[in-house]
Copies of this chain bind each other. A is one copy, B any other.
Amino acid sequence: MHTTKDLQKKVSEIFDNKNYITEPRDLYEPIQYSLSQGGKRLRPLLALMACSVFKGDLNKVENPAIGLEIFHNFTLLHDDIMDQAPIRRGVPSVYKKWDTNTAILSGDTMFVLAYDYVTNSDPSFLVEVLRVFNQTAREVCEGQQYDMNYETQEVVGVDDYVEMIRLKTAVLIAAALKIGAITAHASAEDAQNMYDFGINIGLAFQLRDDLLDAFGKQEVFGKPIGNDIVTNKKTYLYIMAYELANKEQHTALDHAYSLNDRAEKVAGVMEIYHQLNIREATEKKIDEYYQKSLSYLDNVSVAHEQKSELYSFAKGLSLREV
């Protein structure tokens, strides 16, 4: 069995020193820039891990895994334009370093590259992989649309929020696991269990991200704490707070969110989060998704030790240090 560390090393080997540059350079340099920033490379890693669970041939999962990572980075290029996000992985985002047109067109080209890698899958599972990939790509677009809609929509229900993060984040994590399983010729049932495991891990992962923004330690989280509060982002915490607040707390929340001073604003919102036990409510929800994810992994019909790395990894993703 391959350890997570082995597979992480393999993912690094696949991506490090990869050169995408060709003519016209104006088109490919932003692609090289985007793909060489690294990041967690979570999706290709999960694809390799899933393939390994079923003792598949890692060479066969490589191309779809690369396709998943390039697709993910393509969505970041376009999302950063739409969200006007100037920084990505600690460096200027592509639309900021170049311009919007460059980010649009280099993004489109990355999308083609992603399909190019997926197309170079073994013909024995190509169609199956493509179907998962297409459906997922479409859902990720839909998730981004809901996310943009919710920015201007006054009230967002908690179920709507969860559906949005399912589409925007969880389905691609789930697809990576399912595609990894498919490349190892897992049964349809096992591939689906891997997918559902991924959906729940993805939801836990995103809620944990929401939680860390408010309750994390900056040196662990890697981003300034309270950013979601400062930008009035409708996170799980925000939505729960408004759902649970009484009239007085509602007014206090509205007031805090209207403040311009960063520190005062964060302190004001956090005060209400504490009063309403938002941290505990979110941790409870994360644990629910985490437990649910495990039930799907339990159902995957291979020996437990084949899945042990995935169990540990899931725990790490869901229960990252606050």
**Chain A interfacial positions (CB closer than 8 Å to B):** 23-24, 26-27, 78, 81-82, 100-101, 104-105, 108-109, 111-113, 115-116, 119, 123, 126-127, 130-131, 134, 137-138, 141-142, 144-146, 148-149
- Of B113, B119, B130, B142, which is within 8 A of A27 by CB? B142
Complex contact A108–B141 (CB within 8 A): yes
Closest 9 CB pairs of A and B: A27-B145, A109-B141, A112-B137, A82-B101, A119-B130, A112-B138, A116-B134, A24-B145, A108-B141
| Separation of A78 and B109 alpha carbons in the complex (Å) | 12
Give Cα A104 to B108, complex, Å. Answer: 10
Asked whether A115 and B101 contact (CB < 8 A) given A27-B145, A141-B108, the answer is no
A27–B142 alpha-carbon span in the complex (Å): 7
Contacting pair A145 B108 (CB below 8 A): no
Q: Is B82 touching A145 in the complex (CB atoms < 8 A)?
A: no
Q: From the candidates B78, B116, B126, name the one contacting A108 in the complex (CB within 8 A).
A: B78
A145-B26 contact in complex given A108-B111, A116-B138, C-beta closer than 8 Å: yes
Contact between chains at B104 and A81 (CB < 8 Å): yes
With a CB–CB cut-off of 8 A, which chain B residues contact A148? 101, 105
C-alpha spacing A24/B153, complex, angstroms: 14
Chain B residues with Cβ under 8 A from A82's Cβ?
101, 104-105
**A126 contacts which chain B residues (CB < 8 A)?**
126-127
Beyond A113-B138, A119-B134, whether A149 also contacts B26 by CB under 8 A is yes
**Cβ–Cβ < 8 Å partners of A109 in chain B:** 138, 141-142
